[in-house]
Amino acid sequence: MMALTGARPRRFSGRLNPPAAVWVVLLLFCVFALAVPRFASAGNLENLLRVGSILGIAACGQTIVLILGGIEFSFGASAALASVVTVLALPSAGVAGGFAAGAAAVLLVGLVNGTLVARFSLPPFLVTLGMLMVAGGGAAVLAGGLPIDAPPSDAFSWPARGRVVGIPVPILAAAASFVLLHLLLAHTRAGRLWYLVGANGTAARLSGITVWRSVLAGYLLAGAFCALAAVILTSRVASGQPGLAPNLPFETIAACAVGGIPLAGGQGRAVQTLCGVLVIAMLNNAVVLLNLPVAYQQLMIAAVILGAVMLQQAPRLLLLLPVRPARQSEEDRS
């Protein structure tokens, strides 16, 4: 419990204090706008957001799992499974049916994750890592090991390329996801229970909370966010790919961490995740514009992510100052 009373004042979730990551977003935006040609053009920014929207939607799911004190590794593989299932179901079920089948596959993975974690008290790290392999393996088996192309159609590419009132559908979907996440976390009973369960599961149980139900609901909703991301991703690649988005879970975790959400559980806000996603989306976009070799792209992204996380969680470390020992409860004797 000493770790919980760290030196950094933590804010009440659900209030609209800007998280520290906002400054990282602004700083990075200014630097890239000045230093990277074409970065600040309207066309590029739209492209940046459209690419980042998939990460953003999945990160909404990751946020819920992190608040619950868990972690979700199976996102990428379940998105891959969804793409394969969607394309395989297309001929018989049509476009809408295909997407529904793919989304159902992701929800199923979330249900298994949630059941194993909530009802059998297995460690989320191992459960979701296992499901990453199960879903990835399942996708490979279904696809016969090779990507399968979807027959091109306007309806199929609408989730990734369509526009509503001039705004790309993925950006709208991501915006809706963040609004929904915020409402869930700050204004619903389920969201409140996630915070309580994540902060101290035993205390939650002794308070009369049915912990397993809350955990299961959390993983299911996380799966729902991932399902939406998977639909857009499948539409964009227009094929079923067993190896689709292998980095998705790690990028979502990085986004949450950059936003300042601790992995210890019980803390985190939608706006933090949004900031983290924007940081990573800008980075991904800038390294492409700079035309850096792929290896340098990765190193640069890694450096910025680690720097942002350190700025969030241990600012003194970043300035190479000695880290103060964690304070104990403050003394307020009356």
Partner 1 sequence: MTRTAITRQTRGDPGKIWTLEVSGIAKNYGATCALRNASLRLRPGKVHALLGENGAGKSTLVKIVVGAIQPDRGRIALNGVPTRFAGVRQAIAAGVIPIYQHLSLFPHLSVLENLSAFAIAGAAGLRARPALVPRATARAWLDAVGLDCDLDLPVERLSVGERQLVEIARGLGQRCTLLVLDEPTAALTHDETDRLFGVVRRLCAEGTAVLFISHKFDEIEALADDVTVLRDGVAVIDAEPLASLSRAELVRAMLGDMVESGERALPQPGAPMLIATGLMLGPAAGIATRPADITVRAGEIVGLAGLVGSGALELAAALAGARPVAAGTLAVRGETLPAGDRARAVAAGVGYVPADRHAEGLFGPLAALQNASSSTVALFSRGGLLRPGGEAAALMPWLRRLNLHPFQPERPAAGFSGGNQQKLLLSRNLAVPDLRVLVVLEPTRGVDIAARETIHDALVEAAGRGVAVVIASSDLDEVMALSHRILVVRHGSLDGELPRGTGRAALMDRLAGRRAA
The residue ranges that bind partner 1 (CB under 8 A) are 1-2, 4-5, 9-10, 12-13, 15, 187-190, 192-193, 195-196, 199-200, 202-210, 264, 266-267, 327-334
Residue 210 Cβ vs partner 1, minimum distance, rounded to whole Å: 5
Q: Which of 17, 41 has the CB closer to partner 1?
A: 17
Query: Are residues 57 and 118 in contact, defined by beta-carbon separation less than 8 angstroms?
Result: no
Residue 15 Cβ vs partner 1, minimum distance, rounded to whole Å: 8
Please report which helix (H) or strand (E) contains residue 333, including its range: none
Residue 293 Cβ vs partner 1, minimum distance, rounded to whole Å: 38
Q: Which residue type occupies 283? A: L
Q: Which residue type occupies 303? A: A
Residue 24 Cβ vs partner 1, minimum distance, rounded to whole Å: 22
Contacts of 83-86 with C-beta under 8 Å, sequence gap 24+, read: 83/139, 83/230, 83/233, 83/234, 83/237, 83/239, 83/240, 83/241, 83/244, 84/139, 84/142, 84/143, 84/148, 84/240, 84/241, 84/242, 85/139, 85/142, 85/240, 86/150, 86/231, 86/234, 86/240
Residue 266 Cβ vs partner 1, minimum distance, rounded to whole Å: 5
Q: Which of 206, 295 has the CB closer to partner 1?
A: 206
Q: Which residue type occupies 187? A: H
Q: Which of 99, 219 has the CB closer to partner 1?
A: 219
Q: Which of 156, 194 has the CB closer to partner 1?
A: 194
Residue 327 Cβ vs partner 1, minimum distance, rounded to whole Å: 7
β-strand partners of 164: 167
CB atoms closer than 10 angstroms to residue 215: 27
Residue 256 Cβ vs partner 1, minimum distance, rounded to whole Å: 15
Q: Which of 183, 317 has the CB closer to partner 1?
A: 183
Query: Are residues 24 and 181 in contact, defined by beta-carbon separation less than 8 angstroms?
Result: no
Q: Which of 16, 42 has the CB closer to partner 1?
A: 16
Q: Which of 154, 330 has the CB closer to partner 1?
A: 330
User: What is the rounded (10 degree) CA torsion for 159, 171, 64, 114?
Assistant: 10
Q: Which of 194, 219 has the CB closer to partner 1?
A: 194
Query: Largest alpha-carbon pair distance within the chain?
Result: 73
Over its C-alpha atoms, the chain yields an Rg (Å, rounded) of 20
Residue 331 Cβ vs partner 1, minimum distance, rounded to whole Å: 4
Q: Both tokens of residue 18?
A: 């800007």
Q: Both tokens of residue 246?
A: 């292998």
All residues at 6 or more sequence positions from 285 whose CB lies less than 8 Å from its CB, including other chains:
39, 44, 47, 48, 51, 52
User: What is the rounded (10 degree) CA torsion for 196, 13, 108, 106?
Assistant: -160
Q: Which of 135, 181 has the CB closer to partner 1?
A: 181
Residue 20 Cβ vs partner 1, minimum distance, rounded to whole Å: 16
